[in-house]
Amino acid sequence: MNYIMKDKFYTYIQQLQDTITSKLEQVDGTAKFQEDIWERPEGGGGRTRVIENGEVFEKGGVNISGVHGALPDSMQKYFDVKDADFFACGLSLVLHPKNPMVPTVHANWRYFEMYDKEGNIVDQWFGGGQDLTPYYLFDEDAIHFHSVCKKACDLHNPDFHTTYKKKCDEYFWNAHRNEARGLGGLFFDYCKATEEMQMQDWYNFVTEVGNSFLEAYVPIVNKRKELSYSNEQRKWQEIRRGRYVEFNLVHDKGTLFGLKTNGRIESILMSLPSHVQWVYDHKPEEGSEEAKLLTVLETPKNWV
């Protein structure tokens, strides 16, 4: 049964990657995803798809991977295990739109198994989530994104949305800046079998969230992509992207896991935007739209 789970989830993310990339190409109108099939010397590989310099998406990636082998020493210490083997697969995406009125989005859905030397599964879990990072705040966009997240959660457990929204706010927190990376969404990890939730139930929940992604994001893109913007607004977007980069390189577990398990560096760092600025001690004008965003990022808010 458990071996079927990893095959089942890998098949699911392959199909989801196709669905998401074809829809995003349609939304962009000009750019197409470039595909890279790669192999990991220690076992497994993946399919990286990157879109660049489009009408809508300046840079984005929708990647899947399935990797396996001996758990590296650094990860054995992290999980407090000895001589374990592992299998990990997931879909990870980040989209950086050109227009500062369109938010950046990130999502990830993953499955992990750990084995003893006889090949028996000793641990397994699902994880994932999705979150929105705007540069200019439109309340209705935040409400829409969080409403779709809540709807997916409510189909499985009435407490999931409150719990995983809170975890998301805690996780995507740039501690060194004392501010959120964005407006949050959902974040869940170590979703293991219990009396209430078997692994199949977790699979149903995670795929529900994965299937809801386009509904959560695409309507926002379509609503904002034609809005006009100034050079100053574009500069603000690039400064805020700097905070995004800081989070990914300093705090993000997925990035650190990839770097410590000899992951494919191009796939790991595809989440970084093409154009970004670090301006010394930059502070927006009081009462401006830029300042309004920062106020919301200082204290996570319940949008639904």
Provide the annotated active-site residues: 106
The structure tokens listed for 151 are 């709807």
- Taking the CA atoms of 196, 198, 200 and 202 in sequence, report the sign of the dihedral they define: positive
| Rounded Cα distance, 234 and 279, in Å | 13
**Residue ranges of E strands in the chain:** 34-39, 44-52, 57-70, 85-97, 104-115, 121-133, 173-174, 179-180, 184-191
Is residue 199 a contact partner of residue 2, using CB atoms and an 8 Å limit?
Answer: yes
> Which residues, at least 6 apart from 147, have a Cβ–Cβ distance to it below 8 Å?
303, 304
The structure tokens listed for 289 are 């739209």
The structure tokens listed for 299 are 């204290």
Place of tokens 């001996």: 70
The structure tokens listed for 15 are 């199909």
Q: CA–CA distance from 215 to each of 40, 149, 152, 154, 221 (Å)?
A: 33, 10, 11, 16, 11
The structure tokens listed for 276 are 């970004």
In single-letter form, the type of residue at position 156 comes to H
DSSP letter assigned to residue 270: G
SS3 of 211, please?
helix
